[in-house]
Amino acid sequence: MLCDDCGKNPATIKFTQIVNDKKTVLHLCRKCAEKRGLKEAISNISFSLGDLFAGMTKKEPEKVEGKGVEILCPGCGHSFAEFEKTGKLGCGVCYETFSSQLKDLLRRIHGSNQHVGKSPPQLSLKMELKREVRKLRDNLRKAIESEEFERAAELRDMIKDLSKSS
Ligand SMILES: [Zn+2]
Ligand SMILES: [Zn+2]
For 89-134, what is each residue's pLDDT tens digit? 888 888 888 888 888 877 776 765 455 555 555 666 677 778 888 8
In this prediction, residue 67 carries a pLDDT of: 59
Instruction: Specify burial of residue 73 (Cβ count, 10 A radius: 0-12, 13-18, 19+).
Output: buried
Ligand nearest to the CA of 34: 1
Separate counts of helices (H) and strands (E) for the chain: 7, 3
Which is nearest to 81 in space by CA: 31, 9, 25, 34? 25
Ligand nearest to the CA of 91: 2
- Give me the residue spans of the domains in the chain: 13-109, 121-165
The reported pTM is: 0.37
> Which ligand lies nearest to the CA atom of residue 89 in the structure?
2
Per the CB < 8 A criterion, the answer to whether 91 and 75 are in contact is yes
> In this predicted structure, what is the pLDDT of residue 25?
87
**Alpha carbon of 66 to ligand 1 centroid (Å):** 22
- Distance from CA of residue 121 to its chain's centroid? 22
Name the CA dihedral angle for 96, 102, 103, 107, rounded to a multiple of 10 degrees. -170
**Beta-carbon neighbour count of residue 20 at 10 Å?**
5
Distance 15 CA to ligand 2 centre (A): 18
CA dist 52 and 123 (Å) reads 36
Integer Cα distance of 102 and 96 in angstroms: 9
Q: Which ligand is in closest contact with the Cα of 12?
A: 1
Give the distance (Å) from ligand 1 centre to CA of residue 41. 16
Q: What is the whole-number distance in angstroms between the Cα of residue 73 and the centre of ligand 1?
A: 15
